[in-house]
Amino acid sequence: MSATKAQINISAVQFNSVSITRVTACMFGRGTSLVKFKGDTDVYDSIIAAPTLQPHASITTADIGTVFGFTPGTSSTLTATLNDALLATGGAVVFTMTNAVFENADAQAQHAQFGTVTATWQAYASDGTTNPLSFTRT
């Protein structure tokens, strides 16, 4: 069966070799900021550049204890797999964020409901040029 080019559900989420289970939401962002230029008699922008890239991620899970065990400022690798909708080979998307720095964890709970925590990460490039966020298809 060929890949569906659609993903459903998240699996194999890890940070600093610790598995994060019960994941309900996962987000990886490139963190692109565009700047625009116009001058002289330009009516429209004549240059648009992307001088700043700040990759980031967030994961929401019911596994509050695991996430609150992470220390803010810890730098490691964050990975997550978005599975192919029909589990076809070559359809899953695996995100890998190297130099991911654990930023924060915000937990919330309501009476008679499951609690969740949303964890956030930012990433840096140790050489200033290599993108710390990559993906592969498996």
Residues above pLDDT 90, as percent of the chain: 99
Any domain includes 103: yes
Is the dihedral angle over the CA atoms 25, 31, 34, 35 positive or is it negative?
Answer: positive
Q: Is residue 2 part of a domain?
A: no
Return the pLDDT at 66: 98
Weakly modelled stretches of the chain, pLDDT under 50: none
pTM of the model: 0.92
- The verdict on residue 1 lying in a domain is no
- Is residue 111 in a domain? yes
* pLDDT value, residue 80: 98
Do the Cβ atoms of 124 and 101 come closer than 8 Å? yes
Q: How many domains does the chain have?
A: 1
pLDDT at 2: 87
φ, ψ (nearest 5 deg) of residue 122: -125, 160
pLDDT at residue 1, rounded to an integer = 76
3-class SS letters over the chain: CCCCCCEEEEEEEEECCEEECCEEEEEEECCEEEEEECCCCCCCCCEEEEEEECCEEEEEECCHHHHHCCCCCCEEEEEEEEEECCCCCCCCEEEEEEEEEEEEEEEECCCCCCCEEEEEEEECCCCCCCCCEEEEEC
Answer yes or no: are the C-beta atoms of 86 and 59 closer than 8 Å. no
Give the domain CATH number at 52: 2.30.110
Confirm whether 75 is domain-assigned. yes
Domain with 51 in it: 7-137
